[in-house]
Structure 1
Amino acid sequence: MKFLILALSAVILFGCSQPAQQPPQAMIPSLPVMEVQAGNPTTYQEYPAAIEGAVNVEIRPQVDGTLDRIFVDEGALVSKGQPLFKINAAPYTQALNNAKAAQHAAEGAQANAQLEVDKLAPLVQNKVIADVQLKAAKAALAIAKANVEQARAQVGAAQINVGYTLIKAPVSGYLGRLQKKQGSLVGPTDPTALTQLSDVHDVHVYFSLSEDEFVTFKSSYAGNTLQQKIRNLPPVALVLSDDSTYTLPGKVDMVDGQFNKATAAITLRASFANANGILRSGNTGKVRLPLQHRNMQMVPMEATLEMQDKIFVYTVGDSNKVTKQPIIIAGKSGTDYLVKSGVKPGDRIVTAGIDHLQEGQKIKPEPAKKAAIAYSSH
């Protein structure tokens, strides 16, 4: 029994004499690190846009009447001067005939008054009659001449009205919907036009900038005046409703004279060639406007962390400890953020594995490409 107690005591004393084991130290992760660089990137901003033909006109009748004939179909491509509609011309032809008859009567009266003047002139010259009669004849002749001029004007007006019964295309372009059918009564006061006609060989694309965007727009391009800046603008692109990009570039060529008070925005216009007629008035899309940035810090998007509507990067200090740093974004260029503030050129940031980092944690920096391979293999 004594032997057993001595053995247990020896085991206990041996256990107490052993040093306590220390917990293993956490491994310092090897993470990719890069220096922030500054550059002159170009970013692209898209703005909702409305497309209109270079000429977009309503076709309306200029005289009242019944629509006798329609020479074209909806959506047709028509040439300038091509007949589109015919209004019943009978009432206007009759008015023209009456005007011509009145003109002939006035011309006869003028001839008669001229004969009277010619008859009285020698009699007055030979002092056969008093000159008052000649003066009265000349006054009657003047009235007759005025009546002839008035009659000719009425003939001209009647001819114009007859011409208005044949409605022709004022420009070349594509027709819209035909709002009236053959036999309809039409007139200049109708609230609805007969149709729309758009010349879309060139199209105008209208888009708007807010006040802040317009300030940035003006500061991004060379030139002392707004017109000089517009001339220095690079070509713009048109993104169609299916997110495809129109094949031809456009050019911004107009800035509205004032801001819209209701929207606090100003309208700009870009023009695009459209010889094949792919674009039509009423189309919508987006104008992609390039903006040149100077001396802007660039940070890869994959090196950022978004929390509570803020964007952060992990900067690496001299002791290789990381600090979560908020940054202010000015835009995007490819896969990079353009940073307005928060980091400066030469700052080191972690480019991968940031989801598991903690404030003040120490890391082992590696060049970004080499470290990225090592990190992805774990």
Structure 2
Amino acid sequence: MKIVSLVLPYMGFALLAGSCTVKSTENTAKTVERQVPVVSLTVMDTTIYKEYIADIQARKNVELRSRLSGFLEKVYVDEGAIVKAGQVLFQVNDEEYRADHAKAEAALNNAIAEAKKVELEKERTKKLVEKNIVSKTEQELIGVQHKAALSKVEEAKAVVNQTKTKLSQTLIRAPFNGRIDRILLKTGSLLEEGALITSISDLSALNVYFDISESEYLTLASDSNFSSNSFNQEVKLILANGQEYPHTGTAQIVESEFEPNTGSISLRARFPNTDGLLKHGASGRIAVPISTGSTKFVPQKAVFEIQDKTYVYVLNEDETVKMQPFRAGQRVGHYYIVEEGLRPDQEIVYEGAQALRDGMKVRPIKK
């Protein structure tokens, strides 16, 4: 009896221990079966945009420099002002140039008078020759003097035109309609010939330049509708803050050869600038449409990288997950384009990939 009483407690303990082991295993199994959201690949018939670094330039942008030496006497415009073609912007002191012009006109008048005097002498000599009073040699000599006098008149006229041009250059005018940039020199500044005063830009429309590779150009040229002489492609402009410019532009090929160092060729897209938002020298990106038809997309949250390769977790039929590599294309919004490696009928773990491992059994939740 004592032996039986000792055995029973041990049997009870064993049963209790076995029960605890079963419950512990069940709890572990429940813990392993993690709930994960799953989604299918998104398939859309859409147009994808490829982006390129853009160089934004005003349609016209020139530096305004002084053609003369002298003091900057007057500034007629303020920085940032909108000006019209031919409008006077600056004036260089013109006293010296007025004096030179007056001196040149006086020299011209003297040359004209001298030429007139020689012309009268020529006529008189001609009559004397007809009366045999003087020889023909005298007539020829006076003819040469008359030609020399006329040449001096032409020379004096050239000097007058030169001084007149210089005098007109004391007024610096706008070469076209545009907006004035920062004015580097102020009233009273001494200008050297060629000194930079400011710049002016025509911002009514802007040219945006971007480069494509030779392979991209050849892909473009393989289109049956392609013609380098009449190629026009509608493109978008993404501004530096990431916002899309409200107007579309038209891209054209503007270079006839590839850059030898980079193997690229430049295209130019022209955008209207009616609101004046774009400025010369601004930065941004050109978005060029690439028609791809039916395209597969995978959510960005589902994708992770290992050693420069992209992966997702795919849900198997037995509700286990498998890490599967695929080739990701361009990012579009919150998605990546699936170029190859995934089928549209596969279900993908939407998020939480960092807590999963190959072969783990999960509890999928359709998202």
User: Shorter-chain TM-score: which interval?
Assistant: 0.7 to 0.9
Instruction: Identify the match of residue 115 of structure 1 among 88, 111, 120.
Output: 120
**1:48 Cα shift?**
4.2
Equivalent residue in structure 2 for 1:98, among 82, 103, 113:
103
* Deviation per residue, 1:299-355 (Å, 9 max, x gap): 233333334443212335576654321112111223321122222x44513243663
The answer to whether residue 219 in structure 2 is matched with residue 202 in structure 1 is no
The amino acid across from 1:224 in the alignment is: F
Residue 277 (1) aligns with residue 280 (2)? no
2: CA distance between counterparts of 1:62 and 1:181? 17
Is the CA contact 1:41–1:333 (under 8 Å) kept in the aligned structure 2?
Answer: no
Do the aligned residues in 1 keep the contact of 2:68 with 2:194 (CA within 8 Å)?
Answer: no
Q: Secondary structure at the match of 1:285?
A: strand
Counterpart of 2:79 in 1: which secondary structure?
coil
3-state DSSP class of the match of 2:113? helix
Q: Percent of aligned pairs with the same residue?
A: 27
SS of equivalent to 1:105 = helix
Aligned match of 1:162: 167
Secondary structure of 2:155's counterpart equals: helix
Q: How does 1:26-105 map to 2 (within 5 A)?
A: 26=29, 36=41, 39-105=44-110
Question: Cα distance, 1:151 vs. partner?
Answer: 0.8
Aligned residues: 356
Task: Mark the CA change 1:276 to 1:14 in structure 2 (over 3 Å): closer, same or farther.
Answer: closer
Say if 2:226 is the partner of 1:224: yes
Distance 1:108 1:11, change over 3 A: closer
Matched residue type, 2:302:
A
Say which is worse superposed, 60-69 or 294-303, in terms of deviation. Answer: 294-303
Secondary structure at 1:118 match in 2: helix
CA distance in 2 between counterparts of 1:136 and 1:353 reads 108
Q: Cα offset for 1:52?
A: 2.8
Distance of 1:196 and 1:328 partners within structure 2 = 49
Contact 1:315–1:323 (CA under 8 A) maintained in structure 2: yes
Structure 1 portions without partners, runs of 5+: 366-370, 374-378
Residues 113-162 of structure 1, C-alpha deviations (whole Å, 9 max, x = no match): 22222223344345554322222222111111111111111111111111
The answer to whether the Cα contact below 8 Å between 2:220 and 2:226 also exists between their aligned partners in 1 is no
Please state how far the C-alpha of 1:7 moved relative to its aligned partner. 5.5
Partner of 1:5: 3
TM-score, reference length from structure 1: 0.79
Residue-by-residue CA offset, 1:49-70 (whole Å, 9 max, x unaligned): 4433211111111111122211
Question: After superposition, what is the alpha-carbon deviation per residue over 1:37-95, rounded to whole angstroms, capped at 9, x for unaligned?
Answer: 65553334444444332111111111111222111122211111111111121111111
**Equivalent residue letter for 1:52:** Q
Quote the residue 1:133 is aligned against: 138
Runs of 4+ in 1 over 6 A off after TM superposition: 10-17, 27-32
C-alpha spacing 1:26/1:108, structure 2 compared with 1 (3 Å): same
Shift of 1:287: 3.3
Aligned in 2, Cα 1:306/1:74: closer, same or farther, shift over 3 Å? same
Counterpart AA for 2:188: G
Unmatched 5+ stretches in structure 2: none
Residue in structure 1 matched with residue 192 of structure 2 by the alignment: 187
Contact 2:203 2:278 in 1 (8 A): yes
Cα separation, 2, equivalents of 1:62 and 1:157: 13
Residue 110 of structure 1 aligns to which amino acid in structure 2?
Answer: A
Contact 1:314-1:354 within 8 A present in 2 as well:
no
The answer to whether the 8 A contact 1:177-1:195 is kept is yes
CA contact (8 A) 1:220 1:291 kept: no
| Map of 1:215 onto structure 2 | 215
Residue pair 1:110, 1:145 contacting (<8 A) in 2 also: yes
The alignment's TM-score, normalised by the length of structure 2, stands at 0.81
In structure 2, distance between residues paired with 1:64 and 1:10: 120
Question: In the superposition, relative to structure 1, how do residues 189 and 354 fare at CA in structure 2: closer, same or farther (>3 Å)?
Answer: closer
C-alpha change, 1:178 and 1:29, in structure 2 (3 Å) is closer
Whole-angstrom distance in 1 between the partners of 2:8 and 2:266? 95
**Kept after mapping to 1: 8 A contact 2:235/2:269:** no
The change in CA–CA distance for 1:180 and 1:262 in structure 2 (over 3 A counts) is farther
SS of alignment partner, residue 357 of structure 2 = coil
Instruction: Give the structure 1 partner of residue 331 of structure 2.
Output: 332
> For 1:62 and 1:13, how far apart are their aligned partners in 2?
113
**Tell me, what secondary structure is at the counterpart of 1:291?**
strand
Which residue of structure 2 lines up, in the alignment, with residue 292 of structure 1?
291
Moved more, 32-41 or 196-205: 32-41
SS in 2 for 1:234: strand
- Is residue 234–residue 250 contact of structure 2 (8 Å, CA) maintained in 1? yes
1:68 maps to a residue whose letter is: E
Corresponding residue for residue 234 of structure 1: 234
Match of 1:171 among 169, 176, 180: 176
Instruction: Indicate yes or no: 2:362 matched with 1:372.
Output: no
Specify the code of the residue in structure 1 equivalent to 2:238: L
Bigger drift between 298-307 and 198-207 goes to 298-307
How far did 1:36 drift? 4.6
267-276 or 21-30, larger mean C-alpha shift: 21-30
**CA distance change for structure 1 residues 359 and 140 in 2, over 3 Å: closer, same or farther?**
same
Could you tell me whether the CA contact under 8 Å between 1:110 and 1:148 is conserved in 2? yes
Kindly report the root-mean-square deviation, in angstroms, between the aligned alpha carbons of the 2 structures.
Answer: 3.5
Say if 2:47 and 2:289, in contact at 8 Å, map to a contact too: yes
Instruction: Write the distance in 1 (CA, Å) between the matches of 2:45 and 2:130.
Output: 98
Q: How big is the shift at 1:288? A: 3.6
